[in-house]
Amino acid sequence: MKLDYGRMSRREALGTMGMFALASQMSFGEDVPTAPAGKAKAGIAIQLYTMRNPAKEDLDGTLKKVADMGWQYVQWSGMPKLPADKIRAALDKAGLKCIAAHIAIETFEKDFDKEVAIWKTVGCKDVAPGGMMGNCTANLEAWLKGCKRLDELGAKLRGAGMRLSFHNHQMEFEKFAGDDRTKHQILMDSTKPENLFAELDIAWAYAAGVDPAAYIRTLKNRCPVVHAKDVKKDGKKNVLKPLGQGEVKWDEVLAAGQESGIEWYIYEQDNGEGSPFDYAKASFDFISKKSL
């Protein structure tokens, strides 16, 4: 694109140059999707962990089927171990774009520059661990040490143009003795909003007795990416369902998301009845018709 600076006002020219400067700092490439701004429609994606079993047998075929369902964006997790360029090539071949990934904090702590280069090659800026590090869960003291590590890594990633979030399960809504806050609240209180975001798993929050819509509102502007997952309670058992077939009140969740700055709804289903292709297609048909 050629720009005619002679026809621009000084303010317009400075604004345009500022956008180019920001893009060059991010270094993700022109085809990487950016977060919707303001009141723009949020995006939908599929967490590839949903497809981990068929992908073990046929990665290319699985990715093609995902794209044929209608999905355009993915979160990379649970897939066969590949170098970054091979991941990107497989996604490009299927016509898919990676907008997020699940990662191990320890790998970034060991070789930060290498891990940043990997995920920038793949094309995503949002990364999140699947939970708190294993040696930081025993008690409140250990948990706070984990919070500090996440905050420090989040600050470094922010400097590299990336964004760190934290994915929850049910246990993060339990409490440590001597503190009235949930573990998740402690984590949010103990880290800076600009360093650590919440990748809220809606089904696990609901299963823990949390109202997902209300909780999303408490995380306004701090929950850009969520796991859109549905669940039905069967006694003490949580049964995962395709979106819209469980107990989550999606209209309430989506309304809260519009108010609170959710940018991406990433569908995930750890298991379910029938083939993952069946429940992933049912979930796409549901979420793609919703007003986000």
Instruction: Answer yes or no: is 12 within a domain.
Output: no
Cβ atoms of residues 213 and 186 within 8 Å: no
What mean pLDDT is predicted for residues 275-287?
98
Supply the CATH number for residue 148's domain. 3.20.20.150
Q: What is the number of structural domains in the chain?
A: 1
Output the CA–CA distances (angstroms, integers) from residue 50 to 67, 218, 220, in the order listed: 14, 28, 27
Q: Give residue 290's pLDDT.
A: 96
3 state DSSP class of 249? coil
Q: How confident is the model at residue 123 (pLDDT cuts 50, 70, 90)?
A: very high
Residue 227 has pLDDT above 80, yes or no: yes
Instruction: Answer yes or no: is 32 within a domain.
Output: no
Q: How confident is the model at residue 231 (pLDDT cuts 50, 70, 90)?
A: very high
Alpha carbons within 13 A on the beta-carbon side of 54: 17
Question: Which structural domain range is residue 140 located in?
Answer: 43-287
Instruction: Answer yes or no: is 16 within a domain.
Output: no
Q: How confident is the model at residue 197 (pLDDT cuts 50, 70, 90)?
A: very high
Residue 3 has pLDDT above 60, yes or no: no
Q: Give residue 41's pLDDT.
A: 86
Backbone angles phi, psi at 280, to 5 degrees: -70, -40
Output the CA–CA distances (angstroms, integers) from residue 213 to 170, 201, 221, 225, 253, in the order listed: 16, 12, 14, 14, 5
Residue 74 has pLDDT above 50, yes or no: yes
What mean pLDDT is predicted for residues 60-70?
98
Percent of the chain with pLDDT over 70: 87
**For 15-43, how does the pLDDT look when each residue is reduced to its tens digit (9 = 90+)?**
333 433 333 334 444 344 444 444 478 99
Instruction: Answer yes or no: is 197 within a domain.
Output: yes
Cβ atoms of residues 28 and 276 within 8 Å: no
Instruction: Answer yes or no: is 97 within a domain.
Output: yes
The CA angle 179-180-185, to the nearest 5 degrees, is 90
Instruction: Answer yes or no: is 5 within a domain.
Output: no
* Alpha carbons 214 and 192: distance in angstroms, whole number: 21
Q: Give residue 12's pLDDT.
A: 40
